[in-house]
């Protein structure tokens, strides 16, 4: 990272190439040079124009968190979500900051329109439409234990036998 930092900092193309500036900011962030990282991501120096779109805004949010500026980080995370609503890491960072999800949730117009509205059951018909043997929908989200591969089971059994032979 230090080598990349030095190469990018001394590059003659640094000012003209936004990708190089983003990589430089990433190197600065990892090295703990937060002010330098912030200034390389800002085109205007005031925080209004950020290079590299949503990724640049997200990185600026991370930089602000490390620099102990959570309110400024919140602004950049929200900007990242405005640019790319599917950027989960920005959403998660806002949640970690304690920002109420309602203040940055998707609007109904941004949801996919491929699902017909009749496919979503109303709350009154949900309980009566489920057969008695079906499980609640939330059970499909619970993690299931993964089986141990056959080879690992054999190795575990082999180790147990080896101890009993005179070890």
The domain locations on the chain are 1-104
The pLDDT score that the predictor gives to residue 150 is 47
Q: Tell me the CATH number for domain 1-104.
A: 1.25.40.10
79-127 confidence digits (pLDDT tens): 999 999 999 999 999 999 998 766 555 555 554 555 444 444 444 444 4
The answer to whether the pTM exceeds 0.85 is: no
Instruction: Supply the pLDDT for residue 4.
Output: 94
Three-class secondary structure assignment of the chain: CHHHHHHHHCCCCCCCCHHHHHHHHHHHHHHCCHHHHHHHHECCCCCCCECCHHHHHHHHHHHHHHCCCHHHHHHHHHHHHHHCCCCHHHHHHHHHHCCCHHHCCCCHHHCCCCCCHHHCCCHHHHHHHCCCCCCCHHHHHCCCCCCCCHHHHHHHHHHHHHHHCCC
């Amino acid at each position: 990272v230090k080598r990349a930092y030095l190469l990018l900092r001394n590059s003659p193309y640094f000012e003209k190439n936004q990708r190089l500036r983003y990589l430089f900011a990433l190197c600065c962030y990892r090295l703990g040079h937060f002010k330098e990282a912030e200034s390389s991501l800002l085109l205007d120096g005031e925080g209004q124009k950020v290079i590299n779109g949503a990724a640049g805004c997200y990185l600026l949010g991370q930089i602000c968190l490390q620099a102990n500026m959570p309110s400024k980080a919140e602004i950049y995370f929200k900007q990242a979500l405005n640019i790319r609503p599917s950027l989960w890491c920005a959403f998660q960072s806002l949640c970690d900051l304690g920002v109420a999800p309602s203040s940055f949730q998707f609007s109904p117009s941004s949801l996919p329109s491929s699902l017909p509205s009749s496919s979503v059951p109303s709350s009154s018909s949900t309980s009566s439409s489920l057969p008695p043997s079906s499980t609640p929908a939330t059970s499909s989200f619970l993690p299931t234990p993964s089986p141990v591969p056959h080879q690992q089971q054999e190795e575990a059994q082999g180790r147990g036998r080896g101890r009993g032979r005179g070890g």
